[in-house]
Structure 1
Amino acid sequence: MGNKSSSPSPKTMKELRDVISHEYTNEEIESWYDDFKASLSKGESALPMEAFIKVYSKTFVGETTRFAEQVFRVFDTNGNGRVDFKEFMLGMYVSGSPLDEEQKLDWAFRMYDRNGDGYITKEEMLYMFDAICRMTLTDLPATHSTPEMLTDHFFEHFDENNDEKISKEEFISKARTYKEIIDMLEVDPFPED
């Protein structure tokens, strides 16, 4: 799909291959780049949040804005308010690939910790669970039929010191046992029936 004139720079391609070499081929990276480039405004080299949300929303049937804002925040590793192709690919790799558990849990924690203060509050977790339900249009398990009930369930298990917030250490420790928290972030726009 990609060609020489629309390929990522050799430096970017080498950096990406060094990190994700076992996951994507050069052709796949170039194809992603073509799609990414098609989403950019003329003269732009990175997606601002609004454009990122538009691209992201094409994959899901429900309301994606809330979830996509969080994905954007985590992908924007340099904090400049834009996601360039390298950040995009590394974000896609971390969010959707079978990485080592520590990387996956770190990524998940950053998604739930909306304000980046190193803790997940009930409000932050509720916001994410609600965003996931809106985006995927999926029902929660009957035992936790609302985002509020699911939030309470996870806080009962994750908040070890009962301080009404979950630290990164608590999150990582408990997420190894409660895989559902990670599964909630690995949303599949085309689930198998």
Structure 2
Amino acid sequence: MGCIPTKLAKHTPGYEDPTVLASETSFSVCEVEALYELFKKLSHSIFKDGLIHKEEFQLALFKNSKRKNLFADRIFDLFDIKRNGVIEFGEFVRSLNVFHPDTPTEEKIAFAFKLYDLRHTGYIERDELKEMVLALLDESGLHLSDDVVEVIVEKTFSQADSKGDGRIDPDEWKEFVSQNPALLKNMTLPYLKDMTMVFPSFVVNSELDEEDL
């Protein structure tokens, strides 16, 4: 199957040449063009302006544009590289690249660290970890008692904070993730490799099993 003609995308806000984007990511030119088809669908789902707004992002994740979730907010904020409240096509491709199977693990670890560093301090504090744990449980539809959540947070934080200074720095996080690789399970979306023009549903935290690879 051939690529979509690039001229279709040139009037998109934030449009960037697929060849350039392919050279900076793990995607091929054809895969960048396939991503453009997905981007067009998402960026016209509500506002039809060629930009992905937070409501459209939430609609893609949850089928609900008004649902509030810290996890979705954090992913959106990290995709919004220019921090102007919308996601442009170039930002979309570069950010999704983190989830590509061929992207180095170091980049996935760094992205996950930023996800948990809610206050942008360069460290993960205990309360930030708890907020993200609660958000991820909510997103997964799991409802645990406060006591169980506290045990999860305390155990996780004590393991990760190897220096015992009450916060997790990037080096501690890298070591913690290396010992608990399951934490990066959702940082790889197998279908981003060998994509077709008929793109599957866009769900960042996809639960694909090995048979889907």
Residue correspondence of structure 1 range 51-70 to structure 2 within 5 A: 51-58=56-63, 65-70=69-74
C-alpha change, 1:46 and 1:163, in structure 2 (3 Å) is same
In structure 1, list runs of 5 or more residues that go unmatched: none
In structure 1, C-alpha distance between the alignment counterparts of 2:39 and 2:164, rounded to whole Å = 43
Equivalent-residue separation in structure 2 for 1:81 and 1:159 (angstroms): 33
Q: Which protein, 1 or 2, shows the higher relative CO under an 8 Å CA cutoff with sep ≥ 6? A: 2
CA distance in 2, matches of 1:150, 1:16: 40
After superposition, the CA RMSD in angstroms is 3.1
Number of aligned residue pairs: give it. Answer: 184
1:112/1:120 contact within 8 Å kept: yes
Secondary structure of the equivalent of 1:129? helix
Aligned pair in 2 of structure 1 residues 96, 69: CA closer, same or farther (>3 Å)?
Answer: farther
Residues 20-99 of structure 1 mapped to structure 2, 5 A cutoff = 20=25, 23-41=26-44, 44-58=49-63, 65-99=69-103
TM-score (norm 2): 0.71
Name the structure 2 match of 1:15: 20
- Residue 21 of structure 2 aligns with an amino acid whose one-letter code is L
- Runs of 5+ unmatched residues, structure 2: 189-204
Provide closer, same or farther for how the CA distance between residues 107 and 153 of structure 1 changes in structure 2, counting only shifts above 3 A. same
Paired residue secondary structure (1:47): coil
Secondary structure at the aligned position of 2:39 is classed as helix
Q: Secondary structure at the match of 2:17?
A: helix
| Structure 1 residues 137 and 156, CA gap change in structure 2 (3 angstroms) | same
Shift of 1:117: 0.9
Q: Distance in 1 between matches of 2:174 and 2:89?
A: 29
Q: CA deviation at 1:69?
A: 0.7
The answer on whether the counterparts of 1:119 and 1:168 sit within 8 Å (CA) in structure 2 is: yes
Q: 1:106-185 alignment to 2 at 5 Å?
A: 106-137=110-141, 146-183=148-185
Q: 1:91 to 1:147 in 2, by over 3 A?
A: farther
TM-score (normalised: structure 1): 0.78
Pair 11,27 (structure 1): closer, same or farther in 2 beyond 3 Å: same
What CA distance in whole angstroms lies between the structure 1 residues aligned with 2:135 and 2:10? 33
For 2:62, the aligned partner's letter is S
